[in-house]
Amino acid sequence: MRIRIAHVTAYHYDRPVKAVIQTLRLTPRAHDGQHILAWRVEVDGAARLSPGEDALGNRLHVLSAEGTLDSLGVRVEGEVEMLDTHGVVRGAVERFPETVFLRETPLTAPDEALCAFADAAASRGTRDRLALLHHLLEAIHREMTFDTEPTHAATTAAEAFALRRGVCQDLTHVFLAACRHLGIPARYVSGYFLRGDGVVVQEAGHAWAEAYVPALGWVGFDAANGISPTDAHVRVAIGLDYLGAAPVRGARTGGGAEALSVSLRIEQAAWQTQA
């Protein structure tokens, strides 16, 4: 399946900004089942982009701009050919042994309730790690409600779990916290998801998890949708948690208040489209 993505982020400042610096993780890499046909990241004239790579092998751009800016725009456009691998990720860049992904982070530290929840999911009589991970995925999908209201970017796994609510970021953090508590290496994935219901315009990118299964390697688990990723999941960046895979992290000098608008279209591309 061919997926076309157009993702525009625009910042408007109520007073001119003197300097902006951002790190962008908005460029996917290829791996088995994910073939990049075309990909472009562009910024407004005033800003510069310098490409690089982070510690985990994610494609990175450092955006910087100085002067007096009233606004800033980042445009991402691309087309990707996807194959369903049943969530198994092969051929991706791996810079570290999976043990690294057992590490707890402030966003994924479990509390007693989350540990008890993970232990309960693990005690359902299976010694098979893949089956256990699917139990966990189902349990989170069942227990937690998708809700954009109560959480924010800095909400921890334990906080979201206590609310039993959150967005894909929160559900993914809960999954990571539970996995690591059970001694299973797990990591955060940020990316794009082609909806199955024909809705093209979305409000935000997507996030899911990958957990390590010795016989298979890294396997994806999308807690928000309760499924393993399919050919509808475009994988962009990985991290220990949201912060490591965040599409945009930035800082600026001056500028007062900021208004952010995002326009995101994810659609199935027509076969005849030439990239």
Applying the rule CB under 8 A, the residues between 207 and 266 that interact with another protein are 240, 243, 249-251, 253
Residue 125 pairs in a beta bridge with: none
Per CB under 8 A, the list member of 8, 49, 88, 102 interacting with another protein is 102
3-state secondary structure of 3: strand
- Min dist CB 251 to another protein, Å, is 3
Site string for another protein, 4-43 (x = CB under 8 A): ---------------x-xxx--------------------
- Min dist CB 207 to another protein, Å, is 16
Site string for another protein, 71-100 (x = CB under 8 A): ------------------------xxx-xx
**CA 15 → CA 12, 18, 41, 215, distances in Å?**
9, 10, 26, 55
Q: Is 64 in the site for another protein (CB under 8 A)?
A: yes
CB within 8 Å of 181: residues ≥ 6 apart: 110, 114, 115, 118, 119
Applying the rule CB under 8 A, the residues between 159 and 218 that interact with another protein are none
Quote the CA–CA distance of 138 and 132 in Å, as a whole number: 10
- Min dist CB 44 to another protein, Å, is 17
Residue type, 43: V
- Min dist CB 32 to another protein, Å, is 24
Per CB under 8 A, the list member of 103, 152, 164, 265 interacting with another protein is 103
3-state secondary structure of 120: helix
Q: Is 62 in the site for another protein (CB under 8 A)?
A: yes
**CA 197 → CA 3, 10, 34, 272, distances in Å?**
15, 27, 22, 23
Tell me whether residue 98 or residue 231 sits nearer to another protein (CB atom). Answer: 98
Site string for another protein, 42-61 (x = CB under 8 A): ------x-x-x-xxx-----
Range 41-64 burial, b when 16+ CB lie within 10 A, else e: bebeebbeeeeeebebebbbbebe
What is the distance of C-alpha 1 from the center of its chain?
A: 20
Nearest to 251 by CA among 13, 16, 21, 12: 21
**Contact footprint for another protein (CB under 8 A):** 19, 21-23, 48, 50, 52, 54-56, 62, 64, 66, 95-97, 99-100, 102-105, 154, 240, 243, 249-251, 253
